Structure 1
Amino acid sequence: MSSGRLDPGASIGQIGDIYGAGGLRALAGSFTFWQFAANIALFMPFGFFLHQASRWPGIAVVAVGASASMLIELSQGTGFFGVFPCPYRIFDVDDLIANTAGVVFGLVASYIAIGLLPFTRPPRLPDLAPPGRIRRAVAVMADLGIGLAAVTAIQGVGVVFEALSDGHTTPQPADLTPTLNTWVGAAVALVLGVVVPLVRADRATLGQAVMNIAPVRTAQHTTAPAPWAVGVRAVIRFVPWILSPTLLGPVAAMIELACTFLTRERQSVAGLASLTRTRSVPSIRADRARGDAPTVVMEPLT
C-alpha cells in the first residue's frame, strides 16, 4: 500500500503473493502485511466500544465504522479537501476494507463479551429524569458532527468521481469555492435540522435520537413541537455554523450553554425561541400512559 489505489483487494493480492513466494517468514517481514493488519487492529476497539456503549444493531455499528474510515481516507487523499495544495497522504480503498473488517471483529468480540461477562450486561434503569446539560450537549455535538460528516462526504464523493472520470488513481485536491461550501452546508442543515425532524413523529434530530431525547412544547409536556418551532430550532442551531464555523458557531454554542444555567427549566436559546423544552423519550411515553401528567423526579446534577 505504498501508493494510492482505487482497486479493491490489491493489497490482499500482494499479501497472498508474498505468502506464496516465501511463506510465513516472508509474510512476517512484509510491510504490506503489517500495515493491513494494523488497519484492522486500529478499528477493532472502535467496533467493540461503540457496540458496548450504544447497544446498536450490528449493521449500524459496522455502517458507522465504515463511514468513519471513509471520511479519514477522503481527507487523507484530498489534502483535507483542498485545504493543502496536495494530498499529505493517500486514498486507498484497501485501508477502508481493512478498517471495516476491524469494526466487524470488534463487534464480534463485543457479542462474545456480552455472552460471557456479566458486567457487560448492566441492569436497565428507568430514564425518567430531565436530561442533563452534558447529555443535551452531546446531542447537539452529534448533530453538528453528522452535519460535518455529511458535508465532507458530499465534497469527497465529488472529488473521487472527478478523479475516476479523469483517469487518476489517486483523488486530487478539491477546488471548492466558499460559496459552494456555504450552499452545501445550508442544504445539509436543511435536511438534518428541518426535514428529518418533520419526518419523525417525535420531532427529534438525529443527534437527539441517538441520546434518546426529544423536544416537547413548553406548555404541553408530551406534545411534539409545531413545524414552525422545528424551523426556529434549526435556524438557531445551524445557521451560525454555516456562516462562520470558526467564530459565530462556537459563540452561539456558548450562549446556548450559558442560557441553560440562567433559565429555570434549563432551556436553551433555541428552546426559549421555539417554546419547547427537551425531555427523555421514556419519560414522555410514561406521562402519556398515565394521562399527560408530568413525571416528578429529582433533577440530575449535570
Structure 2
Amino acid sequence: MLSSYLESVRTGFAAFVGVGALVLLPVIALHYYRFGRVEPRRAVVLYGLLAYGLVALALIFLPFPTASRVCSGEDMLSTTPFQWVTDMRHNMAAYGRSGPGAVVTSTAFIQQAFNVALFVPLGVVLRKSYGRGAFAVIVIGLGVSLAVEVVQYSGNLGAYPCPYRIADVDDLISNTTGSLLGWMIAPVAMVIPAVPHRDASTAPPGTVTVPRRLLGGVVDFLLLVVVAHLIFQDNRWWVVVLTVAIRIVLPSVTGGRTPGGWLLRYQVRRVDGTRANPWRIALRELLGVTGLITYVVLAPAGWWFAVDVSVLALIVLGAFVAPVFRRDQRNWPDLAADTRAVETARHSTDPRHPAPTAR
C-alpha cells in the first residue's frame, strides 16, 4: 500500500513541475494585471495549492486500471456511516487479532487515517492563508470531498463504463474531519503565509513596473545595436561608449530619461522625487544594465565560466527578478543609488500631480 502511495505522490509532483512551468508566465501576467507586481505570499500559496491539489488527485485516482478490469459487478457505493469500523472488527476477528496495536495497523484504520490526513493541508491553508472560519472550512472540505466521490462513482465522468473505486460516505466523513483538524492546527503552521489584503498587495500609484522598464530597456538596446553596427562597425569599445552615453550621460542631461524611458513615459528620479544627479545614475547603471553590457563586451575570451555565470546571475537577479516582488518595484541598483523609476506624466510642479514617494 505504501509503495503505491509513494508512486502516486511522485506522479503528482511530476505533474506539478510541468503544470507549474506552464502557468508561470500566466500567473505573473495575472498578478501584474491585478496588483502591478507579484505578491510573493500570494504566489507561494497559489503554487502550494497547485502542488497539493495535483498530488492529492494523483493519490485519489491513480493508478488508472484498464477498462477490462472494471465492471466486476461489485457494489461501488457505500452509504453506511462508519462501515470501516465494522469491516475492521470482522477482519481482526478473522485473524484472531485484538488490542490497540492491531487496530492502528489494520488496513481499514490506515485507509481512514490517510483520508483524514489528505485534507488536513486544505484546512490549514483555508484558515492560515485566507482566514476562513471553522464552518466555512467544513463546508468547503465536504464540498471538495463530495465532488471527488461523485467523479469516482461516475467512472471518472464517463471515462470508464463503471467506477473502479468505491464512492464511500466514510470518505466524506474522514475528509471533512481532516479539513476541520487542519483548521484547528493552522495557528502553529509557521511555514504557511497569510495572504495579504488586496490594498497591501497592490503597487503604489505611479509605480513603473518591471515589464515596462524591460520594454524601455529593449528600446535602448535596439538603438545601441543599430548605431554601433551602422556607424562604428560593432567596435566593442564604441559599444561601451554608446551604452554609457545612452544609459548614463543622456539621463543625466534629460532629467533621468533614456530613449526607451521617453517612449514609455518614465524617468529615473531620487526616492523623494527630486532630480537624480549623474553620480547616482552612474552608480545605478554600473550595478545594472550598463555594467552587464560592459562586462559582456569587454570580458576577455576564455574568462572563468563561474565568474561569468555569477555576474550574470547577480545582475539579472538584482535588476529584474528581485523588484518583481517589491511593492515599489525598485531593484538592487535603485536601492544602492537611492533612486526609483517614476512616470514622467506624474512628475510635475503642479501640486495636483505630486511626485510619487517611496512607501
TM-score by shorter chain over 0.5:
no
TM-score (norm: length of structure 2): 0.31
TM-score of the two chains, using structure 1 as the length reference: 0.37
User: Which entry has the higher C-alpha Rg, 1 or 2?
Assistant: 2
